[in-house]
Structure formats: structure tokens, C-alpha cells
Amino acid sequence: MKRSLWLSLAACLLTGSAQARLIHESPSEFRLEGHINAGQAIEVRGVVGNVIAAVSATDSVQVFATGDLRDVTIQVKDHDGGTTVSVAPHGGGEVPVNFKVLVPAGVKFVGRTNQGRIQARLPRSSVEAHTVDGDIEIHATGSTRASTVNGSITAIITGASYTDLHTINGSVTVTVPRTAFLQLDAHAVHGTVTLPAKLARNGPRLKLGTTHGDIRVFAR
């Protein structure tokens, strides 16, 4: 089945939003590269498959997708807030597509998938990550949000900022700077909460939650 690609470039030229351009596509690989301003976001919306994000060595965002791309449509939409890349399987099937995203410092990363893990090692960016079945690993600065239903969340937060991490079936483990000032809000319904001996009680909110699992906070 022939796959299709939608690039919404006219709108970005008129509004001054992020400009993405197609570099390469084949039945098994897709690559997109473009410039996104600091403060804007690159968002990836998968269905089945892993989403991995790492720091870009350049000032451009690069998105790689691999899998059987003949049975999916990959849509790329540029807008005022950045660029969104999404997968739509043909006929509503579940076709595994894995993403790798290279993100410049200062650009926010948003990763979503239904079945798969999300890893975002971006110590100079804000991160948002959401999955249903899978673990989440984050290294970020700035606002950080993550949620999963069946999986654990591990996060390293390098600055004092709003953080919201929640799971249903899994643990939440967070490492924050020892000198950070944070308002801690941690709840484990069926589990334990372990906190560092000393943690400042004012500043940005650190909101953590799980239903079946433990919460551990480390200060380093």
C-alpha cells in the first residue's frame, strides 16, 4: 500500500512558525530535519513503538522513523508552537514505528505513544512524555511532565522547575539537585514514599504519584 505524506509548509511561511523539510523517505525509513526556535516544541505522536530523544549536535531538529512505513501515514504539521510528527496506521491496524529525535538545547520535546517506552535525555530542554504501556526515562531541565499506566518513571531534573510525574502500575524515581527549592507533593496509594533527609519546602512544585508502586526522591 502506498504511503502518503502531508507537509504543512505554507502556513509556517506565513506565520513564522517552525519550518520542517523532508530529507529522506523510503518504505522502511523516514527522516525530517528543520529549524525550531528555542521555546517552541518538537512533538512526536506514535501508536506502537519506542520514542527516543537525545541532544542534537546542531541547531536543527532531526526526526527519524523506522518500521514498515508502507502501512502508515506520517503527517508533519508546522504551527506557531513548533512541529508535530504523527503516525496514522492504515485501516486502524497496529504497525510498530520507532522514533529517534535529536533536539537542540532550549527546544521542548513532547513524546507520545500507546505501546512503547519513552526515553528523553535532554538536560537542557523541557520534556513532556506520555505512554500507556511502557517505561519512561527523562533527564531534563525546565517544566517536566510524564505519565504512564503500566510502567515506571525515572527522572533526573537538573533545575528547580515544575515537575508532574504519574503512573498507575509502577514506581516513580526522581533525582533533583541538592540545592533545589521544591514544594513536594508525593502520593503512593499502595506503596512507600522515600524522601531525602533534607529538602527545601518552597519553590516550584514537584508532584509525584503512583497507585501500585513506590516513590523515591534523591537529592544530589
For the segment 109-127, what is each residue's pLDDT rounded down to a tens digit?
Answer: 999 999 999 999 999 999 9
Q: Are 47 and 97 in contact (CB under 8 A)?
A: yes
For the stretch 49-84, pLDDT in tens is: 999 999 999 999 999 999 999 999 999 998 899 999
In angstroms, the CA 137 to CA 153 distance is 6
Bridge partners, 46 (sequence order): none
What share of the chain has pLDDT > 90, as a percent?
69
pLDDT band of residue 199 (cuts 50, 70, 90) is low
Could you tell me the pTM of the whole model? 0.88
In angstroms, the CA 138 to CA 174 distance is 9
At residue 185, does pLDDT exceed 70? Answer: yes
